[in-house]
């Protein structure tokens, strides 16, 4: 029989009657401390690190956080609750009608929630998706411009779902005044969107901020924002809170400058740097969208990420999620959890069941890593200058398990004699529409993965196969349902053998398009 400790059926009324924060703080005190900051303020690892190359306390924090660990994102899910509608600044890539572009795609959130509704939604999702390990508050405005709603939500969730990690994303303006509270509430993961460290650059991104009951404009606004972001970052890392910095890459405005941003945040102890492409289209109604400001191409983005990659690793698996996203990164299950549907759901928060499920996930995850390492052992070091990209259709769990026609995104891996490395993803329109292949969609898919040598799929039809081959992309279905990285290394070994035998000549591929409109589609 289910007992009181492991199973909780929770209503909004019950959530409202939850005890004070003192009880929660008591429980939380023992979990404090992480030591993110080391000499030079750097974390000892990055998004692709594993338990063998990082401090155990940090590994505990990142191992099942899908944004802070690239490897975890194949296995664990996050959810956002849209409890923070207001914002205290204006970014030129944001339209107030849309989600925060810092952490979401530009589409309106379906519904804004009260903290009580949000807490119930978290329990409903956690009961349905046992691998959901992180609750993030990321808008649709700025969480710290709505502090009471944000902290109340965290308070309620910490009490009823103690195994869920709490995460927040902010523009940083109000950060210094809230650092203590973030620390007290055991919010161990904080993202700050930092697009500049020079107000001269910042004035072209932020037309105004609202601070101390006054609207500030131009360079003064950018200077205040910059000072608060830096101070906030330093205060967080001093307290051992894991910080990720998001930056929006805006060609011609801050693209080259982001190298300076990277240095500045690295020296202040940021754990990860996530450089995201500007999403900008006239229909978004943003300043950048309306004035024709373009986003970067896939190769421009990758070149900048490569340039910044050093001791502080780069996050390359961000999906620029909605402020009400639910599920694995890259999938959106938010429509299953509307307030109306949740009211009708029986919510059983089975903590023991969640732990058991996650233990099974860990086993699969370890098998994935072991398989890749075994394959790597025989990888020849000849041709160390050869690098290729492959695109992979996957539904998650680190396997090649999606049909070409059903893929809404492809994961991109770079292969070299050093092995395989996740370097990004490409959103695409579905090729298969109502049982038929859509020729226009196929062309957009080809443009999105044009820099790839091969595409790995679980299955593919004759027509798309032939068009991909004509475009110089090798459609590969022989690794269906196998581990992605192990298969990738196998493929690369064959590729090198073919070069060696003269069967093929290695040629650099062209650039690819980041699909702007793909983020709009539901
Ligand atoms: Fe959400 Fe952000 Fe926390 Fe992740 S998202 S608040 S850190 S739980 Fe993740 Fe989404 Fe990218 Fe954000 S993929 S937009 S980085
Ligand atoms: Fe929009 Fe987010 Fe910028 Fe505020 S911080 S203006 S919500 S993108």
Q: How confident is the model at residue 307 (pLDDT cuts 50, 70, 90)?
A: very high
Q: Is the pLDDT of residue 16 over 80?
A: no
- pLDDT tens, 260-275? 999 999 999 999 999 9
| Predicted TM-score of the model (pTM) | 0.82
Helix (H), strand (E) at residue 371: helix 351-376
Residue 104 Cα: closest atom of ligand 1? 14
Structure tokens at 277: 């492409």
The ligand 1 atom nearest the CA atom of 102? 14
Amino acid 435: pLDDT: 65
The alpha carbon of 98 and the centre of ligand 2 are apart by a number of angstroms equal to 9
The count of residues in the chain is: 522
CA distance 218 to 180: 30
Question: Ligand 2: does its nearest atom lie under 6 Å from the Cβ of 79?
Answer: no
Ligand 1, from 191, 246, 327: best to mutate by most atoms within 8 Å of Cβ? 191
Mutate which of 64, 66, 67, 150 to test ligand 1's pocket (most atoms within 8 Å of Cβ)? 67
- Helix, strand, coil shares of the chain as percentages rounded to 5? 40, 20, 45
Going by C-alpha positions, the residue among 340, 328, 383 that lies closest to residue 66 is 328
- Please report the pLDDT score of residue 493 as a whole number: 93
What pLDDT shows up at residue 109?
Answer: 65
On the question of pLDDT at 107 being above 60, the answer is no
Evaluate if residue 517 carries a pLDDT over 70.
no
Of 272-276, 423-427, 511-515, which range is least confident?
A: 511-515
Q: Which ligand is nearest to the CA of 248?
A: 2
Mean pLDDT value of segment 316-338: 86
Query: Average per-residue pLDDT in the chain?
Result: 84
Higher pLDDT, 454 or 32: 454
Contact 316, 249 (CB under 8 A): no
Three state DSSP letters for 443-488: HHHHHHCCCCCEEECCECCHHHHHHHHHCCCEEECCCCCCEHHHHH
Task: List, in sequence order, the alpha helices (H) in 18-165.
Answer: 21-29, 56-62, 115-128, 147-160
Tens of pLDDT, residue by residue over 42-88, are 333 334 566 666 788 888 889 889 999 988 888 899 999 999 999 99
Tell me the per-residue pLDDT of 433-463, one tens digit each, with 9 for 90 and over: 766 667 777 888 999 999 999 999 999 988 8
Looking at the chain, the whole-number percentage of residues with pLDDT higher than 90 is 55
């Amino acid at each position: 029989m289910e007992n009181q400790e492991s199973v909780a059926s929770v209503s909004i009324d019950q959530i409202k009657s939850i005890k004070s924060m003192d009880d929660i703080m008591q429980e939380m005190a023992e979990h404090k401390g992480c030591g993110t900051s080391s000499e030079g303020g750097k974390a000892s690892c990055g998004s692709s690190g594993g338990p063998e190359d990082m401090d155990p306390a940090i590994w505990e924090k990142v191992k099942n956080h899908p944004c802070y660990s690239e490897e975890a994102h194949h296995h664990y899910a996050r959810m956002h609750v849209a409890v923070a509608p207001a914002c205290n600044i204006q970014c030129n890539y944001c339209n107030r009608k849309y989600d925060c572009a810092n952490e979401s795609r530009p589409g309106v959130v379906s519904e804004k929630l009260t903290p009580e509704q949000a807490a119930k939604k978290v329990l409903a999702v956690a009961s349905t998706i046992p691998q959901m390990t992180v609750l993030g508050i990321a808008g649709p405005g700025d969480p710290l411009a709505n502090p009471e709603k944000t902290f109340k939500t965290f308070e309620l969730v910490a009490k009823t779902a103690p195994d869920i990690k709490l995460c927040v994303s902010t523009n940083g303006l109000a950060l210094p005044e809230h650092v203590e509270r973030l620390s007290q509430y055991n919010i161990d993961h904080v993202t700050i969107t930092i697009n500049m460290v020079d107000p001269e650059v910042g004035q072209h991104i932020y037309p105004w901020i609202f601070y101390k009951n006054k609207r500030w404009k131009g360079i003064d606004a950018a200077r205040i924002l910059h000072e608060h972001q830096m101070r906030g970052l330093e205060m967080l890392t001093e307290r051992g809170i894991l910080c990720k910095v998001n930056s929006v890459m805006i060609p011609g405005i801050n693209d080259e400058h982001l190298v300076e941003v990277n240095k500045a945040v690295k020296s202040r102890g940021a754990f990860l740097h996530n450089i995201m492409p500007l999403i900008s289209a006239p229909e978004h109604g943003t300043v950048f969208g309306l004035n024709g400001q373009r986003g970067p191409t896939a190769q421009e983005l990758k070149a900048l990420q490569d340039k910044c990659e050093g001791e502080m690793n780069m996050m390359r698996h961000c999906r620029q999620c909605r402020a009400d996203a639910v599920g694995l990164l890259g999938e959106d299950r938010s429509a299953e959890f509307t307030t109306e549907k949740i009211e009708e759901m029986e919510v059983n928060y089975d903590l023991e069941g969640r732990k058991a499920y996650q233990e099974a996930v860990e086993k699969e995850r370890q098998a994935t890593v072991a398989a890749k390492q075994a394959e790597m052992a025989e990888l020849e070091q000849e041709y160390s200058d050869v690098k290729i990209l492959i695109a992979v259709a996957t539904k998650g769990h680190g396997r090649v398990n999606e049909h070409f026609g059903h893929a809404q995104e492809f994961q991109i891996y770079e292969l070299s004699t050093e092995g395989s490395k996740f370097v990004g993803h490409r959103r695409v329109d579905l090729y298969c529409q109502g049982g038929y292949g859509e020729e226009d969609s196929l062309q957009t898919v080809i443009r999105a993965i044009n820099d790839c040598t091969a595409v790995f799929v679980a299955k593919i039809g004759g027509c798309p196969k032939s068009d991909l081959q004509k475009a110089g992309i090798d459609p590969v279905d022989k690794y269906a349902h196998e581990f992605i990285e192990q298969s990738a290394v196998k493929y690369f070994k064959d590729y090198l053998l073919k070069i060696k035998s003269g069967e093929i000549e290695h040629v650099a591929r062209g650039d690819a398009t980041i699909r702007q409109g793909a983020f709009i589609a539901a």
